[in-house]
Structure formats: C-alpha cells, structure tokens
Amino acid sequence: MRGYDSNSYGDAFADVYDDWYAEVTDVAATVTKMSALAGPGGSVLELGVGTGRLAMPMAAAGLSVVGIDTSQAMLDRVDTSNAMLTVLRGDMVDDLPEQLFDACLVAYNTIFNLLDDDAQHRCFRAVAKRLRPGGTFVVEAIVPDSEAPAGTDVSVRELAADRVVLSVSDHRPDEQSTSGQFVEFTESGGVRLRPWSIRWASPVQLDAMAHAAGLDLVERVADMSGTAFDDDSSHHVSVYRRTAS
C-alpha cells in the first residue's frame, strides 16, 4: 500500500483499538497460558504491545513484562504504573532489548505486520536470541484461507444514525498479502481513514521460520484456551521452544 509504514496501523487505530478489538484475544486465557509458560514471577517479552490490553493483565498477574511497539500513539495508552510492566518504542525485529526472557508473545496476527518474508524470519531469529534455554515463543495468528479469491471487497462494518464505517480490502494470495482501509464517516468529524496491511504465512511456513531460528514446535492449539487444533481451525496458537543448546 503506497505510503504505508510501520507506524501507520498503530497511529490510525490507537483511539479505537480497545473498543474494536477487545474480544479478538481471550485475555484471561492468555494470562493463564503465559503464566504457565514463563513460571511464577517469570519474564515475558510482548511484541507489538499496542495499548497494553494483554501486557497490563500479565503484569497484574505477577509476570515481569516488557512490551515493544513502533507506535507512540499506542504506547501513550498503556498504564505503566505497575512496576512489573515496561514499554519501549521500537521495531520488533531490530530494537528488542538485550536481555533474556522466559517467554515471548506475539498476539493476534501481529507477526503479520512485518510485511515481507525476510522480516518475519529475522523476527524469529531475534526472539530466539532473547529466550533463555528452554524459553518459549507464543505465536497467535489466523490460518490463511487457501481458497480465498484474489481481488477487492467492500463491506459495511458499522452503521449508525450519525456514523458509517466501511471496510475496503485488497487480497493478493500470490503475494500472501492483504491490505485495506476502514473508512469512517461521521456527521461531526467528516472522513477518517484507518489503513492496515498484513503479509500472512501458513502454520507450516511459520514452523519453518522457527526451525531455522533454533526453535521447536511443542504445541499447537486453536485458541488460548487450548481448544484442539484440526484441519477446520481458522486460528492457531503455536508454542515454540528454544532448544537447550
């Protein structure tokens, strides 16, 4: 998408993110899972921490959490009053803190915000270097629909007396990419554009990235609650472990 960069998503969605996407991840189940993987009082690195909707509850549960995000608009909404939570502005490939963690989390599709194959590979390698031996990397993402046709789509996301939100998307399966805009019309505020773009990868491709980085797949379930993953699953939560060596 012309003009789109690493800050575009966060800056466009910060003011509506917690409202629009509050249910996209089961927060309680995520905290339970990350607590089990990191251990009591363990350390967690969250990539694309956003507004802190997961990081704040993890810190409240006693985990030592460091979150990183490129968007200052997102980070401005994080409540950092809990000493167990630290947030950093930076890229989730090149700017990760130089310390070791018990676990790392990249929540719902955030790994796909890296818009090319090389960046996603480098992210796995960067995370592997920040995990203690035996540490885990948790990736939550969609399972791409292999039969979804190429082309554009326009639909209505929200319709109210004083507000209309349209969803416009362009799906390019040959490039493993989908981009779009939420176009918001309000009686008082005019037009607001909220762009997004992802470069998606299949679970098999993510497994290959992990293997190349020295991480082994140890669990794949359909959601944070542990629902069994099968051929009909539309989402997955994959847990990769750094080998002891």
State pLDDT tens for residues 52-95.
999 999 999 999 999 999 999 999 999 999 999 999 999 999 99
Assess whether pLDDT exceeds 80 at residue 244.
no
Q: Are residues 207 and 194 in the same domain?
A: no
Q: Are residues 69 and 156 in the same domain?
A: no
In total, how many domains does the chain have?
2
Q: Are residues 105 and 160 in the same domain?
A: no
Q: Are residues 35 and 132 in the same domain?
A: yes
**What is the chain's mean pLDDT, rounded?**
96
Output the pLDDT for position 189. Answer: 83
Q: d(Cα 198, Cα 42) in Å, to the nearest integer?
A: 31
Output the pLDDT for position 210. Answer: 98
Assess whether pLDDT exceeds 70 at residue 204.
yes
Query: Do the domain assignments include residue 189?
Result: yes
Residue 55's CATH number: 3.40.50.150
State pLDDT tens for residues 181-197.
999 999 888 999 999 99
Output the pLDDT for position 2. Answer: 82
Assess whether pLDDT exceeds 70 at residue 169.
yes
pLDDT-above-70 percentage for the chain: 99
Query: Do the domain assignments include residue 3?
Result: no
Q: Are residues 90 and 185 in the same domain?
A: no
In the chain, what's the furthest Cα-to-Cα distance? 60
What average pLDDT does this structure show over 14-22? 93
User: Domain limits at 193?
Assistant: 151-198
Confidence of residue 129 (pLDDT cuts 50, 70, 90): very high
Specify the 3-state DSSP secondary structure of 234: coil
- Can you spell out the DSSP letters for 100-143? -EEEEEE-TTGGGGS-SHHHHHHHHHHHHHTEEEEEEEEEEEE-
